Amino acid sequence: MNFWPLFIVLGAVLVTAGFIAFLISRIRKQPVEEAKIREVQGFIRVGAMAFLKREYKILAVIVVAVAILIGIFLNVQDYFLSGLATAVSFLVGAILSALAGFIGMRAATDGNGRTAQAAKNKGMGGALGIAFAGGTIMGLVVAALGLLGLSTLILVFYSIYGNISVVVTIVTGFGLGAGIIGLFARVGGGIYTKAADVGADLVGKVEKGIPEDDPRNPATIADNVGDNVGDVAGMGADLFESLVVSIIATISLAVIGGMAGFSYNILHLILFPLLVCAGGLIASIVGSFFVRGDKPALKLRVGQYVATGVSALITLGISLILFSNLIPFVVVIIGNIVGLAVGQITEYYTSSSYRHIKYMKKMSSTGSATNVLSGLSTGMLSTALPILVLATAIVTSYLIAGMYGIALAAVGMLSTVGLTIAVDAFGAISDNAGGLAEMGGLDKSVRKITDELDAVGNTTAAIGKGFAIGSAALTSLALFITFIASFYTITGTDITEMLNLANPILIAGLLIGGMLPFLFSSMTIKSVSKAAGDMIKEVRRQFKEKPGIMDGTESPDYAKCVDISTKAALREMIVPGLLAIFAPIAAGLLMGYVGLAGLLAGALVSGILMGLFQSNAGGAWDNTKKSIEADGEKGSEIHAAAVTGDTVGDPFKDTSGPSLNTLIKLMTIVSVIFIPIFALIENGRGILGMF
């Protein structure tokens, strides 16, 4: 096979790198004149970078341990050092994901203060330009590094082994590396951001009555750091994983014969998803040019539609050139539509323009309990339409293009992921900019601009979460099919018909797998509570021991609060993270592939549902509170009721809900990687199967 078209992909990556350099220089050109902003921005950057460094140090231990296991145990048949090659792929995946987080975080913490400054100097247009440039860097870095890593590894290892099916197995290690970083970044970032947020709010806003982002609040820096580690680094690592894993699943299914429901050439099936994503990279750059000027909400939407349109055109061209056929193009479009539809549905259930938030506002007038209940029921209800959209897309893309089609739909959904992340990260940068404007004592007119950007950012963040879950669903499903199909190529046994619903071991697996997202959510919610408790104690202590903080004669100890969030997040992320890695391995060893397949399917179904439920309920509570505030009801009883729901929703929407995406993806890719081990035990039937 001749993989020369991968150099086109690398070319697109190179173009993107140039554009990223341009964006960085554009951000840097905006000076930060206000000394106070420069100072606070420095605190945020130092805090955020310190968190990343400490997180990566811990992850390095886990990653190296897993790499050694892979290197020793996972040699592919008789291919020399192929286990080592898989370990290298794995390390590259982990390192590139970490690097994407690093660069993106750097851009975000460079952009926040400059956005505030630009809002002062140049108004809305200037602020939107800087904030969106910061977000675009994150988005493009994620997409470009994903494509760079995959293309390079395929080229290198194909030149070494000359067998594409071995190369696919090796490259799957890349997905596992991305998956491990993705999970820990989501969970750690999610715990960090909510511990700081709840701590800052409960003591600062509620007990001391000082406004949001007041520099007298010791936790305010930690809160702003949290926006970055959660919404920027966490989201980026999550979607980095989705992107690379969906491509890997597509390539795997291309290599395993008979998976595509149309006539094909294997090489073309392999190249197609990579070229589509390279096109999406360029389309994202094009789209980003349309996000400028005065109306941020409108312009962000225009940018996304332009990117989707350009990407569709490029896909059409690739589809015709490679296959002389529209089928692959149609499937990619199905993926695009799913992405847009899930986002719109999320908005319908979480935006105050529609009836559900209106209902929740009404229910808030009878107190906290009815507010909470209405949020829970809205969250549960909001699972229905996305599930129907996903189910329809799965069946349709399968009927059109076989198993390969399902994986391709996931790729289609993620093809313009660069811009999707940009829109999401832009919100976090704007949120930070607002905080810096407040802390820097800038004029109210500046705050008005950053507030408008922040409000837009809140909507896009909710939509982004819906998108992340939807993409995790399709990606995990594609990977799950790869798991079943790979079993055949690796062990020579076709297990498909064993995996039927009349098999009680499979049902037991389904039940246990379905339970894992509940257990995982319970753990992460408790972690937030514990971490927030630590933070509350510290903030109270500072106010008590330094009475001068309130009148400005003493400085609060920001670093101490940052340190508490960091430590708590790093401590609390370990157990849920290891659960995700070891649950599928334990299931595979004990219950064999039948129980493991059941476990993965159960976790997939309940993970998507619990993810949608929690994220959307959280978003709905958040916007109910904001809408009540916009009505001028701040401080009223109805507002107090809404604050309760909002606080309940905080870990739902930023920790436990979105972490489930990474849980279901990581569990599935761990299962794919360790197939050779499971196959060793009693021909894959597991220890229980010996009875």
In angstroms, give the least distance from the CB of 390 to a second copy. Answer: 6
In angstroms, give the least distance from the CB of 463 to a second copy. Answer: 20
Contact 486, 672 (CB under 8 A): yes
Task: Say which DSSP state 210 is in.
Answer: P
- If binding is defined by CB under 8 A, does position 21 make contact with a second copy? no
How many C-alpha atoms does 473 have within 13 Å on its Cβ side?
28
> Which is nearer to a second copy, 149 or 199 (by Cβ)?
199
- If binding is defined by CB under 8 A, does position 688 make contact with a second copy? yes
> Which is nearer to a second copy, 78 or 497 (by Cβ)?
497
CA dihedral 153, 155, 161, 167 (to 10 degrees): 50
**Considering only residues 275, 449, 608, 667, which one is a binding residue for a second copy as defined by CB under 8 A?**
608
- If binding is defined by CB under 8 A, does position 477 make contact with a second copy? yes
- If binding is defined by CB under 8 A, does position 611 make contact with a second copy? no
**Considering only residues 77, 159, 445, 522, which one is a binding residue for a second copy as defined by CB under 8 A?**
522
Which one of 74-82, 148-156, 420-428, 604-612 is the stretch in contact with a second copy (CB under 8 A)? 604-612
**Considering only residues 116, 131, 202, 455, which one is a binding residue for a second copy as defined by CB under 8 A?**
202
Report the interhelical angle of 384-414 vs 558-630 (nearest 10°).
120
- If binding is defined by CB under 8 A, does position 191 make contact with a second copy? no
- If binding is defined by CB under 8 A, does position 481 make contact with a second copy? yes
Encode burial over 129-145: b for 16+ CB neighbours within 10 A, e otherwise. bbbbbbbbbbbbbbbbb
**Considering only residues 196, 322, 643, 667, which one is a binding residue for a second copy as defined by CB under 8 A?**
643
DSSP for 373-385, written as a single string? HHHHHHHHHTTHH
Q: Where are the alpha helices (DSSP H) in 162-205?
A: 164-199
- If binding is defined by CB under 8 A, does position 381 make contact with a second copy? yes
Region of 293 (left: φ > 0; alpha: ψ -120 to 50; beta: rest) is: left
> Which is nearer to a second copy, 145 or 523 (by Cβ)?
523
Total interface residues for a second copy by CB under 8 A: 80
- If binding is defined by CB under 8 A, does position 392 make contact with a second copy? yes
> Quick one: tokens of 291?
């996000």
> Quick one: tokens of 527?
């972690």
**Considering only residues 21, 68, 388, 575, which one is a binding residue for a second copy as defined by CB under 8 A?**
388
Can you say how many angstroms the Cα of residue 409 is from the centroid of all Cα atoms in its chain? 18
- If binding is defined by CB under 8 A, does position 398 make contact with a second copy? yes
Distance between CA atoms of residues 47 and 561, nearest Å: 10
Task: Say which DSSP state 631 is in.
Answer: T
In angstroms, give the least distance from the CB of 661 to a second copy. Answer: 15
Cα 149 to Cα 81, 90, 99, 144, distances in angstroms: 20, 11, 12, 9
Can you say how many angstroms the Cα of residue 28 is from the centroid of all Cα atoms in its chain? 27
> Which is nearer to a second copy, 430 or 482 (by Cβ)?
482
In angstroms, give the least distance from the CB of 442 to a second copy. Answer: 32
H/E segment holding residue 126: helix 82-161
> Which is nearer to a second copy, 22 or 488 (by Cβ)?
488
In angstroms, give the least distance from the CB of 233 to a second copy. Answer: 24
Contact 89, 153 (CB under 8 A): yes
- If binding is defined by CB under 8 A, does position 479 make contact with a second copy? no
**Considering only residues 292, 448, 526, 560, which one is a binding residue for a second copy as defined by CB under 8 A?**
526
In angstroms, give the least distance from the CB of 462 to a second copy. Answer: 18
In angstroms, give the least distance from the CB of 612 to a second copy. Answer: 8
- If binding is defined by CB under 8 A, does position 4 make contact with a second copy? no
**Considering only residues 67, 131, 406, 472, which one is a binding residue for a second copy as defined by CB under 8 A?**
406
> Which is nearer to a second copy, 27 or 510 (by Cβ)?
510
Amino acid at site 683? N
In angstroms, give the least distance from the CB of 314 to a second copy. Answer: 27
- If binding is defined by CB under 8 A, does position 598 make contact with a second copy? yes
**Considering only residues 366, 489, 491, 636, which one is a binding residue for a second copy as defined by CB under 8 A?**
366
At CA 188, angle to CA 46 and CA 53, rounded to 5? 35
Distance between CA atoms of residues 426 and 481, nearest Å: 35
- If binding is defined by CB under 8 A, does position 374 make contact with a second copy? yes
In angstroms, give the least distance from the CB of 609 to a second copy. Answer: 5
Contact 104, 141 (CB under 8 A): yes
Q: Give just the sign of the alpha carbon dihedral 115, 118, 123, 125.
A: negative
- If binding is defined by CB under 8 A, does position 681 make contact with a second copy? no
How many C-alpha atoms does 462 have within 13 Å on its Cβ side?
28
> Quick one: tokens of 66?
């897993």
Residues in 329-348 at the binding interface with a second copy, rule: CB under 8 A: none
How many C-alpha atoms does 135 have within 13 Å on its Cβ side?
35
- If binding is defined by CB under 8 A, does position 303 make contact with a second copy? no
- If binding is defined by CB under 8 A, does position 117 make contact with a second copy? no
In angstroms, give the least distance from the CB of 258 to a second copy. Answer: 12
> Which is nearer to a second copy, 80 or 582 (by Cβ)?
582
Contact 585, 675 (CB under 8 A): no
Residues in 125-164 at the binding interface with a second copy, rule: CB under 8 A: none
In angstroms, give the least distance from the CB of 595 to a second copy. Answer: 8
**Considering only residues 17, 99, 499, 574, which one is a binding residue for a second copy as defined by CB under 8 A?**
499
Distance between CA atoms of residues 654 and 622, nearest Å: 11
In angstroms, give the least distance from the CB of 172 to a second copy. Answer: 18
- If binding is defined by CB under 8 A, does position 420 make contact with a second copy? no
**Considering only residues 47, 226, 514, 618, which one is a binding residue for a second copy as defined by CB under 8 A?**
514
Contact 689, 592 (CB under 8 A): yes
At CA 559, angle to CA 556 and CA 565, rounded to 5? 115
Distance between CA atoms of residues 186 and 661, nearest Å: 9
Contact 642, 156 (CB under 8 A): no
- If binding is defined by CB under 8 A, does position 691 make contact with a second copy? yes
Task: Say which DSSP state 498 is in.
Answer: G
At CA 19, angle to CA 101 and CA 456, rounded to 5? 65
**Considering only residues 29, 78, 355, 497, which one is a binding residue for a second copy as defined by CB under 8 A?**
497
- If binding is defined by CB under 8 A, does position 648 make contact with a second copy? yes
> Quick one: tokens of 389?
């959209």
Cα 578 to Cα 180, 244, 256, 264, distances in angstroms: 10, 22, 31, 40
- If binding is defined by CB under 8 A, does position 64 make contact with a second copy? no
> Which is nearer to a second copy, 122 or 540 (by Cβ)?
540
**Considering only residues 442, 510, 638, 660, which one is a binding residue for a second copy as defined by CB under 8 A?**
510
**Considering only residues 112, 378, 460, 471, which one is a binding residue for a second copy as defined by CB under 8 A?**
378
- If binding is defined by CB under 8 A, does position 675 make contact with a second copy? no
> Quick one: tokens of 654?
């930023």
Residues in 247-276 at the binding interface with a second copy, rule: CB under 8 A: none
At CA 613, angle to CA 392 and CA 413, rounded to 5? 40
Which one of 74-82, 99-107, 297-305, 511-519 is the stretch in contact with a second copy (CB under 8 A)? 511-519
**Considering only residues 75, 163, 325, 368, which one is a binding residue for a second copy as defined by CB under 8 A?**
368
> Which is nearer to a second copy, 157 or 487 (by Cβ)?
487
Which one of 22-30, 287-295, 390-398, 658-666 is the stretch in contact with a second copy (CB under 8 A)? 390-398
SS3 674: coil
